[in-house]
Structure 1
Amino acid sequence: MSENAATLLANLQAEIARACRIARRDPAGVTLVAVSKTRPVEDILPLVEAGHMVFGENRVQEAQAKFPALREQYPGLQLHLVGQLQSNKADDAVALFDAIHSLDRPSLVTALGKAMDKAGRRVPCFVQVNVGEEEQKGGCAIADLPALLGQARAADIPLAGLMCVPPADIEPAPFFAFLDKLARDHGLADEQPWGRSMGMSGDFATAIMLGATHVRVGTALFGSRAAN
C-alpha cells in the first residue's frame, strides 16, 4: 500500500511539474491538496509516510474524527477545508483547519470573524466564487464579490485568494481563466496575485496552466470511491 501510494504521489507530482514547465511556472508555486474526504486513516497514512503533508477535507466532523491523532504523530501536517462550511461550525473550523477554501457569504464572514477573534487565531480563507452561476452550487455571485471581499477585510479575515468549482461536463478552461482574472483584478498586491484554488483530478493540469496555486486532487491519489 505504501509503495503504491508513493508511486501515485510521484506520478502526480511529475504531472504537476510537467504542467508547470509548459506554463513556464515554478512547481514550488503549486500546492497539492490531497482530498481525503470519505477516506479512512489507513488510506491517508501511506501518503503521509511518502512525504505528503497537505490534505483537504469536506466536512468538519469527519476531519475531527481523523486528523487530531495524525497531527500528533506528524506535527507538520496541514489541513484545508475544501467543502462548504455551515456558520454554526465556524468555531470548530477555525480550531482545526490551516486554510478554508469556501468562504462564500456575509453570514459566514461574520461567524468566522467572531470565531477567529475568540480563538486568537487567523485562518487564511479563499473566497469561493460561483463562476458558472449555478443555483445548486456554493460560492458567492460574481457581482457580490467586491462587497464580500470588503466585509472579509473589515472582519480581519486573512484573504488567501479565490476558489472555484467549474460546471461539470463543460470545458473548464474558460472558468479557470476567469477566476485567474478575478484574482488579479481584486487581489494584486506587491505585484503578486492572490492564490487561485482551482483544478481537481480530471483538470488540474489545465488549471495550473491558467494560474492555479492550489489544486485539490482526490481520485488521482486514492483511486475511485466505492459506489454507495
Structure 2
Amino acid sequence: MTPENALPTTRPMPGALAAVEADIVRACQQARRDRTSVTLIAVSKTFDAETVTRTIVAGQRVFGENRVQEAKAKWPGLMSAYPDLELHLIGPLQSNKAKEAVALFDAIHSVDRPSICEALSREIRSQKKRPELFVQLNTGEEPQKAGVAPLEADAFIASCREKYGLEISGLMCIPPVDDAPAPHFALTAKIAARNGLKNLSMGMSADFATAIQFGATHIRVGSAIFGHR
C-alpha cells in the first residue's frame, strides 16, 4: 500500500470520472431515484493539487480528504481558484484539529465520540460556521476502526443534539472489507430513519451502486476516479 504521505503515480483521466457518473446514473435508474439525490464525493487524499485540478476542470466539484493537515496544505489555493468547490472530511478527526476542520471543511463525516462533539460544538459557536455533520457508525464493530457501535447509536445521536447542540445531518459507515456491504448499508439506513436523519454517507469505489440501492445520499469514490494510490 502507498504510504499516506507519498505521491501516487496514477493520474485521473476525464473518462474515469465520466464512467463513474454513468454508473451512478445507472444505479439511480435501477433504484428509481433521481440522480440529483446522490452526491459524488471524489476522494482526493494523497493526490496533489495539479492532479485534483484536472478533475475539477472535468466538472467535479465535491471532494473528500482523510486528513486535516493534508487538506490544509492543498485546498485553500484550490478553493480560492474555484470558489464553488465543496470539501468533506471523511477520515478520523482529532479534537485538537476541530478548529481547523470547522474552518476548512463544508462537511465532517467522522463524529464518533464525546470529545469530538465538545470540540466541534465549541468551534461552531466560536466561528459561527456550521459544517454538515455525520455520525460515523462502526457497523461491523471492528476494534481497530473508529465509529459508534450500532446499539449505542441512538443514545449518541441524542447526546449530540441535546447535550452538545449539534445539528446532525446523517450517518456514515464503512463496512468491513470481507463482509457483503448490503447488510451494513441496510442497518445504517434503518438507524438513520428512526432518528429522523435524511443523509447517508456510504459506498465507495467497489460498492457505491449497492449503497445507492439502500438510499445513499453521499458516495465516497477515490480509486475509480483517480486510480490506485
1:108 aligns with 2:139: no
Name the structure, 1 or 2, with higher relative contact order (CA <8 Å, separation 6+): 2
- Which of 197, 212, 215 aligns to 1:211? It is 215
**Is the 1:84–1:102 contact (alpha carbons within 8 Å) kept by the matching residues of 2?**
yes
* Unaligned residue ranges in structure 1 (runs of 5+): 188-192
Equivalent pairs: percent with the same residue? 53
Using the size of structure 2 for normalisation, the TM-score is: 0.92
Written as runs of structure 1 = structure 2, the 5 A alignment for 1:1-228 is 5-154=13-162, 155-187=164-196, 193-225=197-229
Q: Distance in 1 between matches of 2:12 and 2:156?
A: 43
**Is the 1:60–1:93 contact (alpha carbons within 8 Å) kept by the matching residues of 2?**
yes
- CA shift, 1:149, in A, is 1.1
Using the size of structure 1 for normalisation, the TM-score is: 0.93
- CA shift, 1:4, in A, is 6.0
Q: Distance in 2 between matches of 1:82 and 1:41?
A: 18
Q: Distance in 1 between matches of 2:224 and 2:92?
A: 22
Q: Distance in 2 between matches of 1:130 and 1:106?
A: 16
Q: Distance in 2 between matches of 1:222 and 1:73?
A: 21
Moved more, 178-187 or 24-33: 178-187
SS of the residue corresponding to residue 174 of structure 1 reads helix
Provide the aligned length of Structure 1 versus Structure 2: 218
* Unaligned residue ranges in structure 2 (runs of 5+): 1-10
- Superposition RMSD in Å: 1.2
**Is the 1:123–1:157 contact (alpha carbons within 8 Å) kept by the matching residues of 2?**
no
**Is the 2:154–2:191 contact (alpha carbons within 8 Å) kept by the matching residues of 1?**
no
